[in-house]
Structure 1
Amino acid sequence: MTPDLIQSLFTRPDGQFLCARWARPVAPVVFGTDDATLATVKGAIEALARIARLPTAETDPELGANFMLFFFRDWAELTGVPDLDRVIPDLAPLCARLADQGANQYRVFRFDEAGAIRAVFTFLRMDEHLAEMPAADLALVQAAEAMLTWGEGAFFKIAPLARTPEGDIFLRPDLATLIRVAYDPALPASASDPSHALRLAARLAAAEGGTNA
């Protein structure tokens, strides 16, 4: 990964750069799945947290759960979720807009005073495209997308998953390493200067070369 590619992965449509990470244990909760899928999703979140060396927890002392993932069939279903409109402002018009756009996913981050990720809310409308994905693949991608504040379409620029000849799925190694180095304690929990991509690239190259940055 070049510095320019890394910079593009964290650049928003308005041109602003933002790379923020979690600075607290992740406490996930999943809605709208069966027990088997629930175990798969939580397993993927725990796997990504291990890559980032980020603790997981049963509860967040402030929010109860700070990583909420919703599976559903129609955007209108969200308007009936109790108290969701308290954490997602203008929920009804947002759902109407997403339905008009034919969107199948939406993600909202919340940040603490230092700019680190405080919570993330991920909404997945299980249309034909998402329903065709194996649960393990979908869970791994969603967990990876929640670890950092990727720019819109980042995972269209790089395919997040790879597969062994035997068919086993895994997070592509350079992306896993990028997530890990982004959690380097020597780096800030949130950076809005594009030069941060240079620091990530240097650490990524050192990690892949087996040296310390």
Structure 2
Amino acid sequence: MDHLEIARHFTRSDGSYHFSRWGRPIVPIVFGVEDQTLPVVKGAFEAVVAVAGHKMAETDPELGANCMVFFFRDWKELLAVPDLDRLIPDLGPLVERLIKAGANQYRAFRFDRDGAIQAAFVFLRMDAEMSEQPAETLALTQVVQVMLLWSEQAFSAQSPLALAGESTILRPEIAGLIRAAYDPVLPGSARDASHALRLSARMERAQ
């Protein structure tokens, strides 16, 4: 993966480059799944956080939980979640746009003063497509997509996952990119595409 391909993973549809990683330990909480599914989601977080060399925690001093994952069947269910409209601005109009688009997932982020990720909200509408995915695959895919502020097109052509025998794993180049992104020498956020050169150098050094 050269620096141009790396840059495409963080280049928005308007052509701007925007990279951010978590600036604090991740504290996930999951809503809308059965008890037996919770360890699967937690395991996915633990696996990807370990790849990054980042940390998880039991609680966030400001927010309690800073990574909220919601599973549901209908977007309108979100309108009944207490205080969610305080966390997600313009929740009503957003729900209407997602319904009109036929979307089955949406992610929102909050950032600290330095531009690093402070909180993330993952919304998954379990339509037929989503429901067909094995729980492990679904969880791992979503955790990967919340570890960094990827471009909206980053994984449109190819999944971040691959099969290794009967197991689903991160594609090696994506695992390497996540690991490089969390190198403590690099900044928690960047708006200049030259940052991709630094990521590329870290990946080459790791090899």
Superposition TM-score tier, normalisation by shorter sequence: over 0.9
Query: Runs of 5+ in structure 2 lacking a partner?
Result: none
Aligned-pair CA distance for 1:203:
1.1
Partner in structure 2 of residue 54 of structure 1:
54
> 1:31 maps to which residue?
31
* Cα-to-partner distance string for 1:24-45 (whole Å, 9 max, x where unaligned): 1100000000112111011101
Output one character per residue of 1:56-95: Cα deviation in whole Å (capped at 9) or x when no partner: 1111010010000000000000000000000101111110
Q: Which residue of 2 aligns with 1:71?
A: 71
> Corresponding residue for 2:138?
138
Of 46-55 and 103-112, deviating more is 46-55
**How far does residue 2 in structure 1 lie from its aligned partner after superposition?**
1.5
How many angstroms does 1:114 deviate by? 0.5
Residues 190-201 of structure 1 mapped to structure 2, 5 A cutoff: 190-201=189-200
What is the alpha-carbon distance in structure 1 between the residues aligned to residue 188 and residue 203 of structure 2?
17
Which residue number in structure 2 is paired with residue 207 of structure 1? 206
Q: How does 1:1-213 map to 2 (within 5 A)?
A: 1-165=1-165, 167-208=166-207
SS at match of 1:51: helix
Deviations 1:103-161 (A, max 9, x none): 00000010000000000000000111111110000100111111100000211243211
Question: SS of the counterpart of 1:155?
Answer: coil
Structure 1 distance, partners of 2:157, 2:131, is 22
The residue matched to 2:119 in structure 1 has which SS? strand
Distance 2:121 2:45 in 1: 14
Q: Secondary structure at the match of 2:156?
A: helix
**Which residue type is aligned with residue 198 of structure 1?**
L
How many residues are matched?
207
TM-score by structure 1 length?
Answer: 0.95
Q: Distance in 2 between matches of 1:134 and 1:2?
A: 32
CA distance in structure 1 between the aligned counterparts of 2:153 and 2:39, rounded to whole angstroms: 27
Measure the CA separation in 1 of the matches of 2:51 and 2:58.
19
In structure 1, stretches of 5+ residues that fail to align are 209-213
Identical pairs, percent? 57
